[in-house]
Amino acid sequence: MRNLFFYGTLRDADVLAMVLGPERATLTPAVLDDHVAMAVAGETFPIIHAKIGAQAHGLLAENLSDEAVERLNYFELGFGYELRSLAVRAGARVVQAQVYFCPPGLFATDGEWDFAHWGQRQKPLFLEAGAEFMAQYGRIPADKLEPFWAGMRVRALARIAGRATNAPAVLRKTHKGEVETIAMQRPYLGYFAMEEFELRLRKFNGEMSGPMRRAVFASGDAVTVLPYDAVHDSVLLVEQFRPGPFARQDPNPWCLEAIAGRMDADESPEATARREAVEEAGLVLGEMERMFGYYTSPGAVAEYITGFVAQADLGKAGGSFGLEAEQEDIRALVVPFKAAHATIASGEANNAPLLLSLQWLAANRARLRRLWAGEQGSVA
């Protein structure tokens, strides 16, 4: 039986229950003197640093079983943490307990961690991603799983957004709560995941179906943006290699596309579009307008895309871009709208985000030119 001191996300009852599973812990409020919990930049969890005169408030978990410690270590040590034994104060008692420390330099910090703020803003995402992480306990070693944490956060964000979806049901029926999940597993897990469901659903005749299996490629939600220069009536497209056409053995697996990217954990769709425009085209966008939201291939893919058009000055735009860390090699090119739209008929525009974006712009081009360029009358 062992004692541990929790200063971060494990102070939360829901997170602790998610990690411990069937195990239980006896918890007491406690303080670790001369230490402070620091927020990890760009993440939803803290690390702890020594700081004379500071106090790290948390919980003392006493007499933990070996299985409980094993589950806690799986959750924490896979991220590079290590255990150190220190004295913590629990009321009038001083108790030796182990504390999860992060080796110096592993994470950049962003000020002191605020547990209450985390609970209000970041807990749902952390809990959702953490549940996917802990679902691999006993299957995949934690140190092999840590590189996939970013993908888990992206998928968690998508599931949270999916549950909040409130799209109209005018022509289609309302089927909320009419699908029963019997079992779910992830036979493939990387930055993306393959999820297999065994499920039953209520049919249109009112009866429940028999069990059925369905596989889904889970990549998380994404955003696209088509920069439009209303003054010069031109758009910016990007060209890059795509593994999808390559896997299909397309002889030219480079695609013309709208700017696109996965949503990061703390970003709105608009913020994602602006970030990706800088990364993929060195472009600072002006006013933006949401065009649409859609599932790319709902029979087999969980991806949901939000598409934008954005006001942009494309006079000096174009060139080579992309993040070296992601091995991106992107060509940004400025094209007159008519030439871009002609790629639909020619077949050179061969992906749904670009096709939909160009068609939407064709239908709204006159309005946007009046709005963003002050043009009057019709647009040829």
Helix H, strand E, coil C: the string for the chain is: CEEEEECCHHHCHHHHHHHHCCCCCEEEEEEEEEEEEEEECCCCCEEEEEEEEEEEEEEEEEEECHHHHHHHHHHHHCCCCEEEEEEEEECCEEEEEEEEECCCCCCCEEEECCHHHHHHHCHHHHHHHHHHHHCCCCCCCHHHHHHHHHHHHHHHHHHHHHHCCCCCCCCCCCCCCCEEEEEEEEEEECCCEEEEEEEEEECCCCCECCCEEEEEEECCCEEEEEEEECCCCEEEEEEEECHHHHHCCCCCCEEEECEEEECCCCCCHHHHHHHHHHHHHCCCCCCEEEEEEEECCCCCECCEEEEEEEECCCCCCCEEECCHHHCCCEEEEEEEHHHHHHHHHHCCCCCHHHHHHHHHHHHHHHHHHHHHHCCCCCCC
pLDDT value of position 379? 56
Check residue 124 and give its pLDDT: 94
| Domain architecture of the chain: domains with CATH | 2-135 (3.10.490.10), 179-211 (no CATH), 222-373 (3.90.79.10)
Classify the phi-psi angles of 248: left when phi > 0, otherwise alpha if psi is within -120 to 50, otherwise beta.
alpha
Look at residue 197 in the predicted model and tell me its pLDDT: 97
Rounded to 10 deg, the angle between the 13-20 and 123-134 helix axes is 10
Phi, psi of 94 (to 5 degrees): -115, 120
Tokens encoding 350: 């061969």
Question: What is the spatial distance between Cα 207 and Cα 88, in angstroms, rounded to a whole number?
Answer: 59
Q: Which amino acid is at 328?
A: E
pLDDT mean by block of 10 residues, the chain; 380 residues: 92 96 92 95 90 96 94 89 94 95 88 94 94 94 88 94 90 88 94 96 94 96 98 97 96 97 87 96 97 96 97 94 85 98 98 98 97 69
Residues 226 and 259 sit within 8 Å (Cβ to Cβ): yes
Contacts of 130 by beta carbon, 8 Å cutoff, 6+ apart: 9, 15, 18, 19, 75
Q: Which of 67, 326, 328, 348 is catalytic?
A: 326
Annotation says 326 is catalytic: yes
CB 353 within 8 A of CB 305: yes
Give me the pLDDT at residue 377, please: 45
Cα dihedral 339, 278, 272, 370 sign: negative
